[in-house]
Every structure is written in structure tokens, then in C-alpha cells.
Amino acid sequence: MNIRQKLIDVGFKNVGFWNIGSSKELIYKLNYSSGVENILYAFIENNELLYIGKTTQNLDNRFKGYLKPGRTQTTNIRNNFELTRLISMGKVIEIWLFEDVGLMKYGGFKLNLAAGLEDSLIKELKPKWNGNRFKIN
């Protein structure tokens, strides 16, 4: 089974892609808009899962960190570098999304399904950019 189908089976949907703007800066295009703030997102190139991340912010606010990473934001720096490098080589990097709409509760407490799925998905699907095994070349 391909990686897209695995993500679809969990509830992900393709919502956009990364690109390089006219000023050679990293940009993203989304065909999605929502105020949902518990989100899992994935980056896919061809049929390779590059990265899975989660945020309690909306997607626009989270992706701002990838566009202009701060000096100490190692994940943002690393992903900005790799996204820019691959896109410059003509690769298409898709953005996939899983929204936690807040329906799950346990003992009266809301469960963050996106946060709960992240570790398991990373362990099973082994995205290239997640974890200590990824280094910038």
C-alpha cells in the first residue's frame, strides 16, 4: 500500500503544496481553510513520507515558523532547508492534514487525537525527517 493511502485511511487529506516564491523564498499554497487548532500534518514527495508534525495552532501560524525560522528553532531550520533544497531540484512537496475535531473524550476530558496519533504514525511509517536519524547533508 502506498503512503498516501495509509494517510487517507487514518483520515488525512491532501491540502496543498510547498513552493518557492518569486523572491526565492519558501512559500506554501493551501486549498484549505479552518480554525481547527489540533492538527497533524505531513509532507510527502513522490511516494515518500518526509515529515509528520503536530500543532495546537492553526496551520498558517505553524507554517510561519518554517518560512522564517528563528536561530534556535532546529526543526524549523532543518525543514526550511530541506524543503527549499528539494523544491529547487524540481520536486513537488505535498502538504497533507489530519484535523482533530474534538469529538473524543475520556473520563470527561477531551483527548487530543492528533497528538495521540503522532508518535504511533512516526514509529510505524518512519518519515525521513523525523527523529535523531535525520541530518542536513
**Domain locations along the chain:** 3-125
Q: Given this model, what pLDDT does residue 113 score?
A: 82
Least confident piece of the model among 53-67, 70-84, 85-99, 106-120: 106-120
**Model confidence, pTM:** 0.89
106: cell is 475520556
Per-residue pLDDT tens over the stretch 14-69: 999 999 988 889 999 999 876 777 899 999 999 999 999 999 888 888 999 999 99
Residue of 102, 99, 104, 112 whose CA lies nearest to 42: 99
Residue range 3-125, CATH number: 3.40.1440.50
**Phi and psi torsions of 135, nearest 5°:** -130, 145
